[in-house]
Amino acid sequence: MAANQTSPTSPQFSTGLSLGRVLIYVLLILCALYYLAPLYVMLTTSVKSLDEIRSGNLLSIPLNPSTYAWSKAWGTACTGVTCEGLAPYFWNSVKMAVPAVIISSLIGSVNGYVLAHWKFRGSHIVFTALMVGCFIPFQVVILPMARVLGMLNLANTTSGLILVHIIYGMAFTTLFFRNYYVSVPEELVNAARIDGAGFFMIYRRIIFPLSLPIFMVCFIWQFTQIWNDFLFGVVFGGSDAQPVTVALNNLVNTSTGVTEYNVNMASAIIAALPTLGLYLVAGKYFVRGLTAGAVKG
């Protein structure tokens, strides 16, 4: 009777496993194609001429691909007097996002380290207040922030936008780092204290070297939030400090009599490239960092 039983390595079991795996792969491929279809339409439309866009199908392959729309979107193929591409605003976003991401992540790292391993009276209240700050809508802080920027003479400047994003993002970064540092054994920190290490020595020699996964989480999170922000950019950014999202909105909604779909698509892709590239390069660290501090001990 034992010979008639189907073992886990029998052909029937292997065939069933292979069929199930094939179905899973087919489903995943269909889902990927569904979500990549808009990106494909954007890419193909951006290299088509207006005549081809009007007469052809959205999913059709470009017959005579051209980079003219990309050049015009960037600002190197403008022929009009007032024509201006995304280039200066793109670099405004870079100058705004990079310092804001680094500074807010470093401040959040120190705050999380304090709240996790240097408890003080009222530390739970501070942590609760920071968590509440994560849920405050953008619209609530517009008026008080505008007043503060005016008092500091930072209104309509890139420095003012950097300050806004540092302050607004500090609650999120502190929450991320605190939850991650709680998983660092308290015995390790206490042993360093016994050996005479102080606050900054423990942070520099023990905590900071363990923080790469959560730093990647904060970098990706903060960069995405800051780069894609529109409200703060349009409210606090002057004509010379507007980020790329505001410039993209102005470009798409500019009425010139003819809607240049190819230029609009190229502009949208240019504005999205940094965040897309960041996720492609460091996306795996985002999931790894989020799960690294999920369990203490």
Residue 213 to residue 282: CA distance in whole angstroms: 10
Q: Give the model's pLDDT for residue 260.
A: 86
Residues 6+ apart with CB under 8 A from 141: 168
DSSP class of residue 141 equals G
Tokens of 101: 């991401």
Tokens of 92: 């405004």
Question: What pTM does this model have?
Answer: 0.82
Residue 25 to residue 75: CA distance in whole angstroms: 42
Helix/strand/coil for 63: coil
pLDDT in tens, the chain (297 residues): 444 554 555 444 455 558 888 899 999 999 999 999 999 999 999 999 888 888 878 888 888 888 899 998 998 655 544 556 899 999 999 999 999 999 999 999 999 999 988 888 888 888 888 888 888 888 888 998 999 999 999 989 999 999 999 998 999 999 999 989 988 888 888 898 888 888 899 999 999 998 888 998 899 999 999 999 999 999 998 888 899 999 999 888 875 667 888 899 999 999 999 998 888 887 777 777 666 655 544
Amino acid, res. 296: K
| 264-293 confidence digits (pLDDT tens) | 999 999 999 999 888 888 777 777 766 665
The closest alpha carbon to 297, from 188, 161, 168, belongs to 188
Residue 254 to residue 267: CA distance in whole angstroms: 13
CB 92, CB 241: distance < 8 Å: yes
Tokens of 297: 């001990």
Tokens of 36: 């990549």
Tell whether the torsion through CA atoms of 22, 24, 30 and 32 is positive or negative: negative
> With 0-12 CB in 10 A as exposed, 13-18 as middle and 19+ as buried, what is 87?
middle
Helices (H), the chain: 11-46, 50-55, 68-74, 87-117, 123-133, 142-151, 158-181, 186-194, 199-202, 212-227, 231-236, 244-252, 261-292
Centre a 10 Å sphere on the Cβ of residue 121 and count the other Cβ atoms it contains: 6
Q: Give the model's pLDDT for residue 130.
A: 83
Domains of the chain are: 2-66 (no CATH), 87-292 (1.10.3720.10)
Amino acid, res. 147: R
Q: Give the model's pLDDT for residue 20.
A: 82
Residue 141 to residue 119: CA distance in whole angstroms: 29
> With 0-12 CB in 10 A as exposed, 13-18 as middle and 19+ as buried, what is 263?
buried
Residue 188 to residue 181: CA distance in whole angstroms: 12
Q: Phi/psi of residue 142, each to 5°?
A: -65, -50
Tokens of 59: 């999913």
